[in-house]
A = this chain, B = another copy of it.
Amino acid sequence: MIIVGSGAVHLKDELLNFGAEVGEIEISRFPDGEKYVRVPLCGTEATVVQSTYKPQDENLIEALLIGDALRERGFEKLKLVVPYLAYSRQDRVTKEGEPISVRAVMRTLGLYYDELYVVDIHNPKTLDFFPGKAFNVSPARSIADYFGDKLGEGIVLSPDKGALSRARKVAEELGVEYSHFEKRRISPTQVEMRPVEIDVSGKNVLIVDDIISTGGTMIRAAEILRKLGARKIFVGVTHGVFAEGAVEKVSNAVDELAVTNTIPTPVSKISVVPEIIRVL
């Protein structure tokens, strides 16, 4: 039994197509703005699918209300699948006085859910903040499937060393080479960004990452790859948290931009539903 929250309604039809049993839920709002949910279901185990992109806080609170309603109905085991987890980048204190916001989110969700599945979480270590069992769901196979034929014998790159494991997973699905960009200071004011120990000339390149927002990094990376003689340049990112105008800017800078549907965007051409179905 799957319950789909407001943040994941765009995935509902596809979940049904995969044969998932999707339970009835009523979601509305009181005149003062408070969320109202009703989940008139019976059972002992359920999986709630709720993405928490903008409005993040409303989607988070909704997940709690759904959890409370299911516990009230006597459900004993609740799983939560979060295609996009809000606050996942606020994962450390960089300036004194900051919270570890993703910790607050994890603890809160842990009040109602026994297991948590997050698609491509920014920092997998933060899953430890969840009191129950928590898992990262990699979209590597879906991204590989989407770009495989276009990439051919190309190269998969991550924009920095921290994201290298994402590039590796996609490359391993396709049996191609992979590497990452690195930043090198070439003068007191200039930083150069280049792919490490790999020759991109004459090759197609797929740059993968977990989140794209302004797209600045991707645009810079594409410029460098063009200079180095790369053929086609593709960008395949999990979460399209696009800033105003970013979809157009990145699309113009590369041969193709595609993100997954953890957040619905005009370029959410890759579905993570197969991955979600796999973990249910």
Residues of A within 8 A of B (CB): 26, 31-41, 53-58, 60-61, 64-69, 72-73, 86-87, 89-90, 93, 95-101, 103-104, 107-108, 111-112, 213-214, 241, 243
Is B64 a contact partner of A108 (Cβ separation < 8 A)?
yes
- By beta carbon, the residue of chain B nearest A241 is B32
5 residue pairs of the A-B complex, CB under 8 angstroms, read A31-B213, A38-B97, A38-B98, A64-B108, A68-B103
Which of B36, B54, B95, B104 is the one whose CB lies under 8 Å from A38? B95
Select one of B56, B64, B66, B95 contacting A34, CB under 8 A. Answer: B56
Contacting pair A64 B97 (CB below 8 A): no
Distance in angstroms between the alpha carbons of A97 and B66 in the assembled complex: 9
A66: nearest residue on chain B (CB-CB)?
B99
Return the contact of A87 from the options B34, B89, B213 (Cβ within 8 A). B34
Q: How far is the CB of A163 from chain B (nearest CB, A)?
A: 18
Distance in Å: Cβ of A188 to nearest Cβ of chain B: 29
Which B residue's beta carbon lies closest to that of A38?
Answer: B97
Taking CB atoms, residues of chain B closer than 8 Å to A35 are 57, 101
- In the complex, which of the residues B31, B40, B61 contacts A96, with contact meaning CB atoms closer than 8 Å? B40
Closest to A87 in B: B34
Residues of B within 8 A of A99 (CB): 37, 39, 65-69, 72
List 13 additional A-B contacts (Cβ < 8 Å) besides A68-B104, A72-B99. Answer: A32-B213, A33-B55, A34-B90, A38-B95, A55-B57, A57-B58, A58-B58, A60-B61, A61-B104, A68-B99, A68-B103, A73-B97, A108-B108
Complex CA gap A72/B94 in Å reads 12
| B residues less than 8 Å from A56 (CB atoms) | 33-34, 61
Q: What residues on B are CB-neighbors of A61 within 8 Å?
A: 56-57, 60-61, 104
The CB with the most chain B CB atoms within 10 A, among A33, A61, A90, A213, is that of: A61
Closest to A244 in B: B31
Interchain CA distance A243-B68 in the complex, whole Å? 27
Q: How far is the CB of A245 from chain B (nearest CB, A)?
A: 12
Contacts of A89 in B (CB 8 A): 34
* B111 in contact with A98 (CB, 8 Å): no
B100 in contact with A72 (CB, 8 Å): yes
Report the Cα distance A166→B64, complex, angstroms. Answer: 31
Contact (Cβ within 8 A) B57 A57: yes
CA distance A69 to B92 in the complex (A): 11
Quote the shortest CB–CB distance from A232 to chain B (angstroms): 29
Once the chains bind, are A69 and B55 in contact (CB under 8 Å)? no
